[in-house]
Structure 1
């Protein structure tokens, strides 16, 4: 009986880990597609109430609406050619998830760091985006 309970618990834990990993992948997949297309509006759908944007170390916090316009201006000046995620991960506590990617623009390449936090309803929202020119 104890052996059966242990197996059931193991299967349950593995299935929960799969669901969390899949949810993480889906959130970053949509953000990746939005950045690749240069759509600030599509990226803004994943913004939290306030977003910290950084361009080459110049960090500022914006409301979601302001951040959309700042990102739109960035995409206008740095037309997107490509965007690929290089690494994804999550913190061990708090549900914070992050991704590092490479953004290819007509003006050069950027390393992008994205941090997403769970909102009150559990959906992931972008908290931080850092673009660093390589």
Structure 2
């Protein structure tokens, strides 16, 4: 009887832990989407890794989080968003989460690729790539 109780307890704990981690990842993507929709570099900066690769139409550069926020702020200022939505989301075997979205701004529509890497339990933005459609 004890054996079944401990197995059930262990399975319950694993289920709750796994659900909580998945929920945290979905929350981060939701927050990233909201920041993109609002054109808020400040909101988005909360989810940036220490070093972030940002690309615009194939021209990619690595920035520290402070520089990345300035680059994103400049992009939002030039391309005020009218809409943003994620159209695809996934996760690799290494637990690297990614999403593809569509950003509609003043100067056109962009396909946006976001890659989040796990960092101290919470995924952070490692790559942010904008490609004009």
Structure 2 counterpart SS, 1:25: helix
Counterparts of 1:14-93 in structure 2 under 5 Å? 14-93=15-94
* Cα distance in 1, alignment partners of residues 103 and 72 from structure 2: 13
Residue 110 of structure 2 corresponds to: 110
Deviations along 1:30-88, one digit per CA (max 9) or x if unpaired, are: 11111110011111111111100000100000011111111111111111001111111
| Cα drift, residue 8 of structure 1 | 6.2
State the shift of 1:102 in Å.
0.7
TM-score (norm 1): 0.87
Number of residue pairs the alignment of both structures matches = 132
Structure 2's unaligned 5+ residue stretches are: none
SS in structure 2 at match of 1:114? strand
The list of structure 1 runs, each at least 4 consecutive aligned residues, that deviate by more than 4 angstroms after superposition, is: 1-14
How big is the shift at 1:10? 5.6
TM-score relative to the length of structure 2: 0.87
